[in-house]
Amino acid sequence: MHKENISTAVIRRLPRYYRHLVDLEKAGTERISSSMLGKNMGLTASQIRQDLSCFGGFGQQGYGYNVTRLREAIAEILGMNRNHTAVIVGVGNIGRALVENFPFAQNGFRLLAAFDVEPAVVGTTLGDVIVQHADNLEAYLQENTVDVAGIAVTASAARDVALRLYHSGIRGIWNFTNVEMPEQQMPGVMVENIHFADSLLTLSYKITDVAEEQV
Amino acid sequence: MHKENISTAVIRRLPRYYRHLVDLEKAGTERISSSMLGKNMGLTASQIRQDLSCFGGFGQQGYGYNVTRLREAIAEILGMNRNHTAVIVGVGNIGRALVENFPFAQNGFRLLAAFDVEPAVVGTTLGDVIVQHADNLEAYLQENTVDVAGIAVTASAARDVALRLYHSGIRGIWNFTNVEMPEQQMPGVMVENIHFADSLLTLSYKITDVAEEQV
């Protein structure tokens, strides 16, 4: 299986396949046909077969996919077995939700540390980590190998934090602020944005569309 | 401008255009060329022109786009002037972040209410709303016109809550749980998912890819 043959659109669907396959495994399902997988996921059997064509060895006509082997292959493609590490910068409501509730381990990550500037939270324990002062960010990143930093600081601090992370060697940024990252100043950095507003506005468009069609 | 001519991919980029145009307006910029807009957004001028071709009247050769008129046109397409209303179900860390910090008004929405089942939070005030018991959901939705419900409950409750919302007439679901919504049982409902894990796994893929290329 060659990564370069997998399109970005397929990559974005792989986590969803992965979740379905985990559920199937938990339910004791050993194999599944593309049509059944498609029915579960709201896709056509041919979309499924096309998406998973790079995993050809696991899908056989009349047999379907071996659930465990397909899940493992997807996990490998997604880099879930690379012992990736993460830190969270900013532990307001969102950062706190990530530190306390997000299943890093299930996604192949180890959460190492969290940072903030508020005296009220620095030094407190959240989940399994002690919140450190953000002044320690550079020193911490020099001493520890960190792959991904989640940014959940206030909008005004977001770009500065991103550049500090970049200059400390971070190559993966998981951005929870509504601010665009200064990607041009951070060559080589991979950014994933969780823009709540973009998602709500897409929903706004969809429900407006429906309303108009009904007129 | 005809909605049916706008592809889903373009719609998903419109909120980002909107944010850039708001920033430009704040900075006093009255017009902008497609090449400058592209430079700001990390897109080519021709991508910009193609994306915004349905707003042709606002982009003129040698003049560029009128920032305010383009922003207004995008807002209209996105349904930002429809007085949409929203409620949030579940006020753990994520729900609390939405209720307390998310700029609903800036996105054309009015947040009407929040719901939870925890005795410790029911009756408390978060942001501008009083948290109501989730048992009141159906009664509330019968008495109030609500377009979108954000679901930020625990995973085990997510699908039940979705179906309750559906049967109470909700047509837009903004899903913050890592659970797939039962869309087949909710015909006509529009769903937008904020799947944190999918985003982290996409990032995981991207940084793994980089690491492999460097070998």
Q: What pLDDT is attached to residue B58?
A: 59
Please tell me if residue B16 touches chain A, with a CB cutoff of 8 Å: yes
List, for residues B157-206, the tens digit of each pLDDT value: 999 999 999 999 999 999 999 898 999 899 999 999 999 999 999 999 99
Q: Which residue has the tokens 């939700």?
A: A97
Chain B: closest CA distance from residue A46 (Å): 19
User: Does the pLDDT of residue A2 top 70, yes or no?
Assistant: no
Please tell me if residue A189 touches chain B, with a CB cutoff of 8 Å: no
Kindly identify which residue of chain A lies nearest to residue B106, measuring between CA atoms: A197
How does residue B59 score in pLDDT terms, banded at 50, 70 and 90?
Answer: low
Q: Decide: A214 and B120 in contact? Cβ < 8 Å.
A: no
Kindly identify which residue of chain B lies nearest to residue A97, measuring between CA atoms: B93
**Which residues are within 8 A (CB) of B172 and not within 5 positions of it... i.e. 6 or more apart?**
A203, A204, A206, A207, B147, B148, B149, B189, B190, B192
Q: What pLDDT is attached to residue A215?
A: 44
List, for residues A47-90, the tens digit of each pLDDT value: 888 888 876 555 667 788 999 999 999 999 999 999 999 999 99
Please tell me if residue A53 touches chain B, with a CB cutoff of 8 Å: no
Cross-strand partners of A151: A89, A175
B3-76 architecture in CATH? Orthogonal Bundle (1.10)
Separation of alpha carbons A117 and A127, rounded Å: 18
Whole-number average pLDDT of chain A: 90
User: Does the pLDDT of residue A118 top 60, yes or no?
Assistant: yes
- Domain coordinates in residue numbering, chain A: 3-76, 84-198
Choose among B203, B207, B184, B187: nearest CA to B195.
B203
Largest Cα span, chain B: 62
- A174 three-class SS: strand
List, for residues A65-76, the tens digit of each pLDDT value: 999 999 999 999
Please tell me if residue B12 touches chain A, with a CB cutoff of 8 Å: yes
Q: Under an 8 A CB cutoff, do B203 and A172 touch?
A: yes
Q: Under an 8 A CB cutoff, do A15 and B195 touch?
A: yes
Substitution target in B41, B126, B186, B206 with the highest count of A β-carbons within 10 Å is B206
Whole-number average pLDDT of chain B: 90
pTM given for the model: 0.89
In CATH, the number for domain A84-198 is 3.40.50.720
* Nearest CB neighbour to B79, from listed A102, A193, A208: A208
Kindly identify which residue of chain A lies nearest to residue B78, measuring between CA atoms: A205
Q: Which 8-state DSSP code applies to residue A82?
A: S
Phi, psi of B169 (to 5 degrees): 100, 5
- The interface predicted TM-score (ipTM) is 0.92
Please tell me if residue B155 touches chain A, with a CB cutoff of 8 Å: no
List, for residues B120-132, the tens digit of each pLDDT value: 999 999 999 999 9
Please tell me if residue A186 touches chain B, with a CB cutoff of 8 Å: no
